[in-house]
Structure 1
Amino acid sequence: MDDDRRPSGPGEPSSPPPAPSGRHDGDANRRLEQDAAPAYGAPAPPEHSEGPPPEAPRPYAPPPSPQWPGAGSAEPPRHPAPEPPQQQPGAHGDGTPAEQWGQAAPSSPYSIPGRGPAGPSHPDRQPPSPPHGPAPSVPQEAPPPYAADHRPPFTPAEGPPAAAPYPPPEGHTPAASHDGPPPYAATGHGYPSVPADDRDPFASSAAGDPFSPPDGPRHTEPQPAVAPAAPPSGAVFTRGGASGPVPVPPETPHAGPGPGGPGGDPFGSDRPVPRRRSRKGLLIGIVSAVVVLALAGGGASWYVLTLPEPEETAAAYVRAWNSQDYAAMTGLADGGDPAAAFKRLDGNLGIEQTRVTTGAVEEVGDGAVVPFEATFTLSNAGEWSYSGELPLVRVEREWKVDFGPGVVHPDLGEGQTLVRTNEWGERGHILAADGSRLDDGTASGSVQMILGEVGTAAEEDLADLGAAYEVGDPVGVSGVQKAYEERLAGEASTAIRVVEAGTAPQDVPEDAPTAGSIEGQDGKDVTLSIDPAVQAAAAQAIIGQSKPTAMVALRPSTGEVLAAANVPGGFNRALDGQYPAGSIFKIISYNALLDSGMGMDAAMNCPKTTEVGGRTYKNAGDAAYGAQTVTEAFATSCNTALVQEVADRLDGASLLASAEQFGFNTGFHSGLPVFKPSLPQPDSVSLLTASSIGQGKVLTSPLHMASLPAAVADGSWRAPMLVTEPAPAERPEPAPIANAQNLRDMTRAVVTEGTAENVGFTGEVHGKSGTAEYGTAAEGEELPAHGWFVGYEGDIAFAVVVEDGQSGSGAAAPLAKSFLDAL
């Protein structure tokens, strides 16, 4: 029990609870307000229902909280004891004797006198089923008068008519097995009680058993009616009788002991007092029900009409297959593991591209079938096509692909997959510019480093090579042979075989079924720009050098690499060497000065030393030339004259822009991986002036340095190109050099009156010498330096570098002369 009210025992008369007083008034009222909350959010009914009685039972709604005279005062009036029942004309105001329906139910702490249910006068008889006809004609005793402060919900004078709104059917005999009073059988107002036979079998009793009365004392004698202390909290409805629903109050947490608590409720809960509803409310309810059913029916129709079709599932599955989205394929399939099956197929066959198309859907029984045509592009093998079917089934109102091995390929069974075996044709050759073979074993060591070697595939190589290769297959391992492996190898003749999952290609049984085959193709040749005559001249020029040396020759009009020679062998310095540029970079610096507005007639001063940006500069051999023209300063390679003009006229961005015109920070796409020259933008005067003479952070290669005189000769810088067939796909566009003619005059002066005057060049040779310092030196000693010389004659440009050569004109220029003389 939640409170201090004692329930009535069997045969013990009930009395109304004592009136609350003092502080407890508020607590009791709050409990009553909570208990009176409508069940399931039902709205509260109006205070009085006017008009004629409804034609059929309406859903129950709880009445408002009881009022007493003087409501709002500090203390409510005390409740007097109930008086003897008054005579009224019948159980429902129609003259039926009250004795037929019994006395009032015992008192309940949750009842109001005059409103509680009436108990039967005959213990062996049930109250009638829901009324379906005129009321019985047995007279009934009048109910007890209401207390002054507890009026009934309404009186005949102010509300409902005297006749019973829902009299019981004629000839109805309540079941004799019902114990206790009928719930809510009031003597003057409210609905008749629900007999046990009409009780909802799913409505739980107080004990939780829907078919047995709750525990507690059972009332076998009629009990006086007592009004509930607060309105009931709500009601639910069960089916009862032939005319429609009958209100059945829900369980509440305040059920007392005995059948229905102290009030004698056989369902173990407080029972609300039903309120009569108007015809208008009934009409609104009917219209609402029709609208709900219509909406539900329309929603169901929409759902049915928008169910996916098999064509949609097949189309989505094929889209995922074409994009190799195997996770999406798995979501559209029923059974199996499409992702695992198709990933295995990709790895085994080397699938590079998938193209699947479908035909018309054909319904087969409860399912459907969609024919498809699949075409795979296989690495080093070409295309392979086959036909199959996608079976579709309904799974939870959706169409799914009924996945199995046969969906992958119709020849596959459970636990099987496809692999490929290959036979290679003749490998392609590497040719020189004149069409002669370079890979016949007679090429020089320098050319051989460019060509690379052919080896055999190892186990660790297969992942990169793809499914076309097996251990032991011929494969390029360096140089052009590796870079153009796919072209040189051709396409293997491929057989698609059916094997057990996990079988390696080299372990495929000879009698394994063949699902398909692809006819292979021999490899294709690769043509280089190497000119055998020019290559021989370069190799002859540097052969016998004691210091590492590299030479590169280009064709200025095309950028083609004509020769690349290295001494000693083992490292391709010509293409991959990384060096500071030294004074060769002055071609770029003077181009930037001319772009800035300096004229060719500008006067320059060449002192022995000069300090710029906190750094001291001097000239080779501690030379000092005094006043010079632009061409003279370039020809003598005066450092001190140049850095002063650079500091006055240029900034980091302008020098970098000129450098990038000549290919710095640019990928060559020459056909082979080569070193990419680099120059970060100088961010100080010191770094700016150091970069202008090819020091600082300048890094380049002999291949790149040969492109500088080639740009001067042609008038546009062109990226060096080594492979001509197939032509590189992303070769940079030529970059025009606006000052090319002035630079031609300056480079010619180097040979005729400058640093290379004493080399003895013959013919129309243009050039520039350079000394590029590197590393560190002991105090008082000169830094080690590489010797550079670049130039051109006619349509041949060249670059020579001698590591630790110390002087460009002394170590590199004579090698350039030997090269040109040999042509």
Structure 2
Amino acid sequence: ALVGGGVSWYLLSRPGPEGTVAAYVAAWTSGDYASLDPLSTTGQAAELHTAVAENLGVESVEVTTGEAVVDGGQATVPFTAALDLSGTGTWSYEGELPLLRVDGEWKVDFSPAALHPALGPGQVLARSDVWGERGRVRAADGTPVDTPDVSGSIQMIVGEVGPATADDVAELGPAYREGDPVGRSGIQRSHQERLAGTPTTVIQVVEEGAEPAAEPDDPAVVATLEGTPGQDVTLSIDLEVQQAAAAAIIGQDKATALVAIRPSTGEVLAVANVPGGFNRALEGQYAPGSTFKIISYDALFGAGLSPDAALDCAETVDVGGWTFKNAGDAAYGAQSVTEAFATSCNTALISEVADRLDGASLTAAAERYGFNRDLDLGVPALSPSFPTPDGATALAAASIGQGQVLTSPLHMATVPAAVADGNWRPPVLVTDPAPAGLPEPAPVADADRLRAMMRAVVTSGTAKDVGFTGEVHGKTGTAEYGAYVEGEEMSAHGWFVGFEGDVAFAVIVEDGQSGAKAAAPLARRFLEGL
């Protein structure tokens, strides 16, 4: 072996120094610095190479060598080294390896100058970095939103910039020093590299153990690598839509969130939370309640349910030994599919689910709408979860958005958006740089039927008394939570999801008890503000 397991006597004892040079370069470029000392005369090569690599943040090395000039038992070999430096780029320089023939073997006559010609005894290379202007985070129209006067919900998305800590420096690399401005949260953190740009890096000679100078004297400087300023990051947030969302929920005395999405692209238009301090619009986890029925009916249509079928909205239905009922103990009797959806009849839906679906088929439908995947916004966001129901009772509960189903307002806004556009698309928050690796839109085969059903919710169903104007489509939801106690009403969150034109939305009011009474009026106020 050339390095790592002992040096081949045959290779090193050849008449010319080429074998030693090849082994030395192989150890250098592979980062196997411990193997440099057996190839040199002094036993100091490993320590100095290691120190320089750590000081400069060397990520990779390429070395090309020229023809050896041999003079008896001495030789020199010119080389060009290209060092890829963390956070900066590639630095190239030329040097020369001196060699001696010792006891019949060629060795590198190592001194600091063999690593870089500017180095003398007791010296090492180090770097200092000066960062340029940081990029801005902007709304869709180019307005900066990385300022303290924007809403708290937008501030949580944008995040904060603060001084780098020791842990930050360890993560980000030698281009950073403690105290340098770095993104600490949100977009500022996830897009730190783009927003920061690259620093102007000064490579300098310093005495061993000394810190590099921020402004070194010219004789100490061996190279300056010019940096680049940071680039902006553009969000999909539409400030007019954002204002309408914030105005719709301001003054709420219960925790509330509203998210708006553009169905044709998946772009997030607005994110609003009351109170501030926690981005429940993106990170909150809730059962979707009856808003999930959009997905359940889509699954039923795929399993053969006719839109003209006659359903029975009984007062109760027993599945697997568990009794399910409707809100307010309602019983509507014979209903069309659209009527059962519009009135949010649990028992009619569950009866069809029990006959036509199983855990795998309902899970497949949920996953077509983004469940069981990371949303990858660039900021923290809940990954919606739909565990495959185990048994008939769990299947029935999941079909009405209860059981173990978990979602967020952000994710639930993508569901009516999918119906509006005819394709489920993942939500997109950052538009520049353009998102990479987005999945292909997932077609909604029965979008036309679902649109008509969602329209009926507003015109003749659970939201008919809310006072919507225009062509609003929606679905109310009441999502129970907490421990079940027989004979007692459970606490519940209120949902309303829907769309009008190319704006889809989801509203949740924690402990709102009724989607129609708590959440839908906020959706109406939001749409009126557009």
Per the TM superposition, whether the score is higher than 0.5 is yes
Q: 1:470 aligns with which of 141, 152, 177?
A: 177
Instruction: Describe the superposition over 1:511-536 as per-residue Cα deviations: whole angstroms up to 9, x where unpaired.
Output: 87112111122211111111110000
> Which secondary structure does the structure 1 equivalent of 2:406 belong to?
coil
> Which secondary structure does the structure 1 equivalent of 2:455 belong to?
helix
Partner of 1:517: 224
Distance 1:651 1:332 in 2: 69
Q: Which amino acid aligns with 1:558?
A: T
Asked whether the 8 Å contact 1:336–1:404 carries over to 2, the reply is no
Asked whether the 8 Å contact 1:470–1:506 carries over to 2, the reply is no
Distance 1:374 1:756 in 2: 71
Q: 2:372 aligns with which of 665, 673, 678?
A: 665
Shift of the 334–757 alpha-carbon distance from structure 1 to 2, 3 Å rule, reads farther
Shift of the 497–750 alpha-carbon distance from structure 1 to 2, 3 Å rule, reads same
Shift of the 509–616 alpha-carbon distance from structure 1 to 2, 3 Å rule, reads same
> Which secondary structure does the structure 2 equivalent of 1:569 belong to?
coil
Matched, 1:554 2:261: yes
Partner of 2:132: 425
> Which secondary structure does the structure 2 equivalent of 1:758 belong to?
coil
Distance 1:716 1:329 in 2: 60
Shift of the 500–595 alpha-carbon distance from structure 1 to 2, 3 Å rule, reads same
What's the CA shift for 1:415? 3.2
Alignment map for 1:443-522 (pairs within 5 Å):
443-505=150-212, 513-522=220-229
> Which secondary structure does the structure 2 equivalent of 1:759 belong to?
coil
Distance 2:11 2:250 in 1: 87
Partner of 2:277: 570
Distance 1:351 1:698 in 2: 48
Shift of the 306–496 alpha-carbon distance from structure 1 to 2, 3 Å rule, reads closer
Partner of 1:530: 237
What's the CA shift for 1:386? 1.1
What's the CA shift for 1:713? 0.8
Matched, 1:683 2:411: no
What's the CA shift for 1:662? 0.8
> Which secondary structure does the structure 2 equivalent of 1:757 belong to?
coil
Partner of 2:146: 439
Q: 1:542 aligns with which of 237, 244, 249?
A: 249
Partner of 1:242: none
What's the CA shift for 1:440? 3.5
Distance 2:398 2:431 in 1: 34
Instruction: Describe the superposition over 1:609-655 as per-residue Cα deviations: whole angstroms up to 9, x where unpaired.
Output: 11112322111111112222222222111111222222221122111
Q: Which amino acid aligns with 2:494?
A: G
Instruction: Describe the superposition over 1:407-435 as per-residue Cα deviations: whole angstroms up to 9, x where unpaired.
Output: 33222233322211122221111111111
Shift of the 625–428 alpha-carbon distance from structure 1 to 2, 3 Å rule, reads same
Partner of 2:304: 597
Partner of 2:3: none
Instruction: Describe the superposition over 1:91-150 as per-residue Cα deviations: whole angstroms up to 9, x where unpaired.
Output: xxxxxxxxxxxxxxxxxxxxxxxxxxxxxxxxxxxxxxxxxxxxxxxxxxxxxxxxxxxx
Q: Which amino acid aligns with 1:600?
A: P
Asked whether the 8 Å contact 1:496–1:515 carries over to 2, the reply is yes
Partner of 1:728: 435
Distance 2:300 2:23 in 1: 63
Asked whether the 8 Å contact 1:497–1:514 carries over to 2, the reply is yes
Matched, 1:704 2:411: yes
Instruction: Describe the superposition over 1:588-616 as per-residue Cα deviations: whole angstroms up to 9, x where unpaired.
Output: 21111111222212222221111112322
Partner of 1:373: 80
Partner of 2:424: 717
> Which secondary structure does the structure 1 equivalent of 2:318 belong to?
strand
Identity across matched positions, percent:
63
Distance 1:811 1:549 in 2: 10
What's the CA shift for 1:540? 0.5
What's the CA shift for 1:805? 1.0
Distance 1:420 1:805 in 2: 58
Shift of the 391–619 alpha-carbon distance from structure 1 to 2, 3 Å rule, reads farther
Alignment map for 1:745-756 (pairs within 5 Å):
745-756=452-463
Alignment map for 1:256-655 (pairs within 5 Å):
310-326=17-33, 335-336=42-43, 338-393=45-100, 401-505=108-212, 513-655=220-362
Distance 2:203 2:60 in 1: 17
> Which secondary structure does the structure 1 equivalent of 2:494 belong to?
strand
My pick for the range that moved more, 459-468 or 417-426, is 459-468
What's the CA shift for 1:791? 0.6
Cα RMSD of the aligned pairs, angstroms, is: 2.6
Asked whether the 8 Å contact 2:12–2:105 carries over to 1, the reply is no
What's the CA shift for 1:378? 2.5
Instruction: Describe the superposition over 1:763-802 as per-residue Cα deviations: whole angstroms up to 9, x where unpaired.
Output: 1111111111111255532111111111111111111111
Distance 1:745 1:719 in 2: 23
Distance 1:425 1:304 in 2: 50
Any unmatched runs of 5+ in structure 1? 1-302
TM-score w.r.t. length of structure 2: 0.91
Alignment map for 1:68-217 (pairs within 5 Å):
none
What's the CA shift for 1:564? 0.5
Instruction: Look at both structures and tell me which one has the larger radius of gyration over its CA atoms.
Output: 1
What's the CA shift for 1:380? 3.1
Distance 2:40 2:443 in 1: 60
What's the CA shift for 1:680? 2.0
> Which secondary structure does the structure 1 equivalent of 2:523 belong to?
helix
Asked whether the 8 Å contact 1:604–1:630 carries over to 2, the reply is yes
Asked whether the 8 Å contact 1:669–1:730 carries over to 2, the reply is no
Alignment map for 1:28-107 (pairs within 5 Å):
none
> Which secondary structure does the structure 1 equivalent of 2:194 belong to?
helix
Shift of the 617–318 alpha-carbon distance from structure 1 to 2, 3 Å rule, reads farther
Asked whether the 8 Å contact 1:499–1:508 carries over to 2, the reply is no
Asked whether the 8 Å contact 1:669–1:728 carries over to 2, the reply is no
Distance 2:166 2:525 in 1: 48
> Which secondary structure does the structure 2 equivalent of 1:654 belong to?
helix
Q: Which amino acid aligns with 1:372?
A: F
Matched, 1:794 2:501: yes
Any unmatched runs of 5+ in structure 2? 1-9
> Which secondary structure does the structure 2 equivalent of 1:673 belong to?
coil
Q: Which amino acid aligns with 1:483?
A: S
Partner of 2:7: none
Distance 2:81 2:139 in 1: 42
Alignment map for 1:806-821 (pairs within 5 Å):
806-821=513-528
Asked whether the 8 Å contact 1:370–1:389 carries over to 2, the reply is yes
What's the CA shift for 1:458? 2.7
Distance 2:142 2:420 in 1: 27
> Which secondary structure does the structure 2 equivalent of 1:773 belong to?
strand
Asked whether the 8 Å contact 1:669–1:731 carries over to 2, the reply is no
Asked whether the 8 Å contact 2:314–2:331 carries over to 1, the reply is yes
Distance 2:341 2:17 in 1: 80
What's the CA shift for 1:310? 4.1
Q: Which amino acid aligns with 1:813?
A: A
Shift of the 793–401 alpha-carbon distance from structure 1 to 2, 3 Å rule, reads farther
Instruction: Describe the superposition over 1:137-174 as per-residue Cα deviations: whole angstroms up to 9, x where unpaired.
Output: xxxxxxxxxxxxxxxxxxxxxxxxxxxxxxxxxxxxxx
- Relative to its length, the structure with more strand (as a share) is 2
Asked whether the 8 Å contact 2:462–2:476 carries over to 1, the reply is yes
> Which secondary structure does the structure 2 equivalent of 1:704 belong to?
helix
What's the CA shift for 1:500? 2.4
What's the CA shift for 1:328? 5.5
Distance 2:348 2:525 in 1: 32
